[in-house]
Amino acid sequence: MKIIHFLILFLVSINTYSNQEILTLGFGSCLHQDRSMAILKTIEKKELDLFMFIGDNVYGDQEDGELDKLIRTYKQQFNNLENFLQNVSTEFIWDDHDFGLNDGGSNYRYKDIAKSLFLETWQIPANDPRRLRDGLYFDKIINKNGLKIHLIFLDNRSFKSEWKLTDEFNKKGKERYIEDFNPEKTLLGKNQWKWLKDKLIVESDIKIIISSLQILSLGHGWESWDKFPLEREKFLKLIDESNISNLFILSGDRHRGGFYQFKTVGNNNIYEFTSSSLNLPIPFNTEEKGPLRIGSTYRKANFGVLRLYEDQVVMELTSDRGKVVNSLNVAIN
């Protein structure tokens, strides 16, 4: 009888351990330096292992592309975040408003100065690869309790070609930009594409790609990977070629949060989790088209939380007060 009782306790303890949360990640985008920073206190209370600022971390762009506002707002935002940075482990990647030019890309004349401003403000170490090459793309591997998580941060600004302007401005689904099938157009540039291909075959249990711009989302006329369909197709093909099973995408930019799912030609499921904005919600009156979206989007201030377990990833879209407003559980193998 004692042996049976011991076995029951042993099996219960194994099951409890297998369901323990191994790693907790957070992310968010679109943090305006002149708005309330109250959401940062809410994020701190989540006791995250890492929080990722994934773009529009300051709003310093000017219509003329000059730098005086960008310099001022980077300094202001660092002061806003100083206590948060002391209490929470963080990583940063940029989007257009902290790059320095709205919807900007490779042609921005001050992009090298903007990059230096980014590196110095967020105190990127002197030996970091980002200081030795063009662009700000990088990766990070986290090993915890036998789980290897590979984070891949894409730079969607430094090498991006110009978007194709819409022929029906503000028409739903064609608001600002339309598809451009020009094979010369790029989002990542030649070197970053090669780097990404190499990183995707690095062995890991879970891969998380951080892209300031949405990759899977379809149906709106704002910035997203689907405006360069050949680049998006190239990305999806690369996923199949790399034979990745547990892949997640984190994105921002859109001033709304939601979940997206896509099954590749090679039968690989990809999930995208968009979180935006941290403190700059836009009162959209209508829902956007979303053939790949799971459920509706959330349009108030929010941030994302990922809870990683041995057998699943739980994604939680969280309000500025800490309430989970939408969630998605995905089994991993």
What number is the average pLDDT over the span 79-89? 98
Higher pLDDT, 16 or 245: 245
State yes or no: pLDDT of 232 exceeds 70.
Answer: yes
* Count of other CB atoms within 10 angstroms of residue 77: 23
Percent of the chain at pLDDT above 70?
95
The model's confidence at residue 91, banded by pLDDT at 50, 70 and 90, is very high
Cα dihedral sign, 52-58-59-63: negative
The model's confidence at residue 178, banded by pLDDT at 50, 70 and 90, is very high
Task: Summarize pLDDT for 1-58 with one digit per residue, the tens.
Answer: 444 443 333 333 333 334 789 999 999 999 999 999 999 999 999 999 999 999 999 9
pTM of the full predicted structure?
A: 0.94
φ, ψ for residue 119, nearest 5 deg: -60, -40
Query: Could you give the C-alpha distances from 269 to 38, 100, 246, 247, in angstroms and in order?
Result: 36, 35, 8, 8
What is the per-residue pLDDT for 16? 36
Distance CA 235, CA 127 (A): 29
Mean pLDDT of the chain: 93
What is the residue extent of each domain of the chain? Answer: 24-331
- What CATH number does domain 24-331 carry, 2.60.120.10, 3.40.50.720, 1.10.10.10, 3.60.21.70? 3.60.21.70
State yes or no: pLDDT of 179 exceeds 80.
Answer: yes
What number is the average pLDDT over the span 206-230? 97
Based on its alpha-carbon atoms, the radius of gyration of the chain, rounded to whole angstroms, reads: 20
